[in-house]
Amino acid sequence: MSLIVQKFGGSSVADAESIKRVAKRIVDTKKAGNDIVVAVSAMGDSTDELLDLAHEVTPIPAPRELDMLLTAGERISMALLAMAIKSMGYDARSFTGSQAGMITDAQHGAARIVDVTPGRLRDALDEGAIAIVAGFQGFNRDTKDITTLGRGGSDTTAVALAAALGADICEIYTDVDGIFSADPRVVPKAHKLERVSSEEMLELAAAGAKVLYIRAVEYARRHGVTLHVRSSFNNNTGTIVYNPGATSPYATEILNGEPVEEPIIAGVAADLSEAKVTVVGVPDIPGKAAQIFKIVAKTNANVDMIVQNVSAASTGLTDISFTLPKSEGQQVLTALTNEQANVGFAGLQYDDQIGKLALVGAGMRTNTGVSAKLFESLFEAGINIEMISTSEIRISVVTRADTINQALRVVHTAFGLDSDDEAVVHGGTGR
Ligand code: ADP
Ligand code: ASP
Ligand code: MG
């Protein structure tokens, strides 16, 4: 008998029919003799709808109340799913995040899990019941308040439960057949990956591949949890996210062993959520970059790429550009403007029409010519590169936002990633 954690995303439980379909799937796994803990997301796009509603009431909703509101979405789906399973003659019990023992820090909207105490889930399992847990939410012991784990956080709930319960596998059910070499909504010729290392998945998730939430991948990597990302709309094998050297027996059986050689490129991802700030006319003397980024750091903004231009010999002035989430742009501009006289720069430019493309693959470490090929494919498509950054297994470029989808497709083709078949998207709105 195995212990399986299954997570169903919003598109898999979008309406009553879908909830019944998912319930049947859970019951089938139970009938096969497994213990099951389920993490479930809010129905369809209901989290976005609740968020819209909050912003209709006030432009800046109070973080505590926003978490109260958003966690209601997962309470609805957990109860409906438990009802559906019970009506099929199997015992099921739903639990909120706090009932399930998801203990977090106090940061509303982006809380981190600090402990998991799943006593009530174990009791339910011992009594033969299926435990259904509301994803995306937790509880802080100091403030005694309800928290949320960040958008896409039900993935983290599932992984944290799998780690705490020592599950044999954590299955992430979604509206596509697995993790693809690119978002199949944008690149129809994307191919499904049989496996991807947690290291590569971390880079893809950080670069905007929202199929898995980055914090869930981090958690899985840290706790050695193997993930199986697959469709809730069919029974096909999906993609295994493995930790090299520590792949679970369940995954090894699916994969027929460890990979012989890692592919050079796992996939491409794009991110349209960032903006570029350029600090113009910065005196090119030691200490100025430190001064600027200290001001930025005080706002808690998450700076991503940084580029400093060569200074013009005649003026001794340089420009420094960096990218950051659009949502943090305004506060950083304000902070820098307040210190403009102190730092002595000439002005600020803000550009929120950028897109970031990332090419990811563990094989990049040992293969040369990857960046040349990337730049050439973009050049041939007439796409201008504005910024570049690299890690050991990733190359990222910034382009105009309106060229990003075309960029994804040409790079995908250039690296021989195109499949002969069109990828199927089974549901969801892509919101
Ligand atoms: P869920 O509601 O199940 O959590 P999400 O919408 O969060 O689903 O994630 C699934 C979506 O992620 C897919 O519908 C797809 O459009 C998008 N996606 C982006 N990049 C990829 C990728 N590399 N592979 C698969 N899906 C991807
Ligand atoms: N419902 C939450 C969201 O839309 C959490 C999740 O679905 O993972 O972000
Ligand atoms: Mg998701």
pLDDT tens for 8-64 read 999 999 999 999 999 999 999 999 999 999 999 999 999 999 999 999 999 999 999
Structural domain contains residue 83: yes
Closest residue by Cα to atom 8, ligand 2, is 152
User: End-to-end distance of the chain based on CA atoms, in angstroms?
Assistant: 38
Same domain, 279 and 243: no
Amino acid at the residue 300: N
What was the pLDDT predicted at 67?
Answer: 98
Counting atoms of ligand 2 from 1, which one is nearest the CA of 10? 7
Task: Kindly identify the ligand whose nearest atom is closest to the C-alpha of 177.
Answer: 1
Q: Which residues are annotated as a binding site?
A: 7-10, 47, 74, 174-175, 185, 210-211
CATH number at residue 302: 3.30.2130.10
What was the pLDDT predicted at 37?
Answer: 98
Amino acid at the residue 276: K
Model pLDDT for residues 285-298, shown as the tens digit of each residue: 999 999 999 999 99
Model confidence band, residue 260 (pLDDT cutoffs 50, 70, 90): low
What was the pLDDT predicted at 422?
Answer: 87
Task: Kindly identify the ligand whose nearest atom is closest to the C-alpha of 213.
Answer: 3
Q: What is the DSSP string of 109-143?
A: TS--EEEE--HHHHHHHHTTPEEEEETTEEE-TTT
Determine if the pTM surpasses 0.85. yes
How much of the chain, in percent, has pLDDT values that exceed 90?
A: 89
Q: Which of 7, 13, 41 to mutate to test the pocket of ligand 2 (most atoms within 8 A of CB)?
A: 41
Domain finish residue from 209, 233, 258: 258
Q: Do 149 and 110 touch, CB atoms closer than 8 A? A: yes
Model pLDDT for residues 92-127, shown as the tens digit of each residue: 999 999 999 999 999 999 999 999 999 999 999 999
What was the pLDDT predicted at 80?
Answer: 98
Model confidence band, residue 1 (pLDDT cutoffs 50, 70, 90): confident
Instruction: With CA atoms as reference, report the closest residue to 39 among 146, 168, 162.
Output: 162
Indicate the average pLDDT of the chain: 95
Counting atoms of ligand 2 from 1, which one is nearest the CA of 150? 9
Model confidence band, residue 258 (pLDDT cutoffs 50, 70, 90): low
Task: Supply the angle between the helices 63-87 and 16-31 in degrees, to the nearest 10.
Answer: 60
Rounded to an integer, the average pLDDT of 168-194 is: 97
**Range in 49-53, 92-96, 248-252, 400-404 with the lowest mean pLDDT:** 248-252
Same domain, 323 and 377: yes
Q: Do 348 and 295 touch, CB atoms closer than 8 A? A: no
Query: What is the spatial distance between Cα 208 and Cα 196, in angstroms, rounded to a whole number?
Result: 16
Model pLDDT for residues 217-233, shown as the tens digit of each residue: 999 999 999 999 999 99
What was the pLDDT predicted at 248?
Answer: 78
Model pLDDT for residues 329-376, shown as the tens digit of each residue: 999 999 999 999 999 999 999 999 999 999 999 999 888 899 999 999
Structural domain contains residue 431: no
Closest residue by Cα to atom 4, ligand 2, is 47
Same domain, 214 and 313: no
Mapped onto helix, strand or coil, the DSSP state of residue 283 is strand
Instruction: With CA atoms as reference, report the closest residue to 241 among 150, 172, 161.
Output: 172
Where helices occur in 197-312 by DSSP H, the ranges are: 198-206, 214-223, 249-255, 288-298
The structural domain count of the chain equals 2
What was the pLDDT predicted at 296?
Answer: 97
For residue 230, what are the domain limits? 3-258
Q: Do 361 and 196 touch, CB atoms closer than 8 A? A: no
Rounded to an integer, the average pLDDT of 277-289 is: 94
Instruction: With CA atoms as reference, report the closest residue to 41 among 325, 427, 326, 425.
Output: 427
Structural domain contains residue 73: yes
Model pLDDT for residues 63-95, shown as the tens digit of each residue: 999 999 999 999 999 999 999 999 999 999 999
Query: What is the spatial distance between Cα 370 and Cα 365, in angstroms, rounded to a whole number?
Result: 10
Residue appearing with tokens 């926003």:
66
How much of the chain, in percent, has pLDDT values that exceed 70?
A: 98
Mapped onto helix, strand or coil, the DSSP state of residue 215 is helix
Rounded to an integer, the average pLDDT of 388-401 is: 95
Same domain, 22 and 123: yes
CA angle 152, 157, 158 (to 5 degrees): 100
What was the pLDDT predicted at 14?
Answer: 97
Q: Do 395 and 370 touch, CB atoms closer than 8 A? A: yes
For the range 233-236, what are the long-range contacts, defined as Cβ-Cβ under 8 Å and sequence gap of 24 or more?
Answer: 233/12, 233/175, 233/426, 233/427, 234/177, 234/426, 236/177, 236/178
Q: Which of 8, 46, 77, 174 to mutate to test the pocket of ligand 1 (most atoms within 8 A of CB)?
A: 174
CATH number at residue 251: 3.40.1160.10
Structural domain contains residue 421: no
Structural domain contains residue 420: no
What was the pLDDT predicted at 277?
Answer: 97
DSSP type of residue 14: S
Same domain, 306 and 234: no
What was the pLDDT predicted at 249?
Answer: 81
What was the pLDDT predicted at 364?
Answer: 92
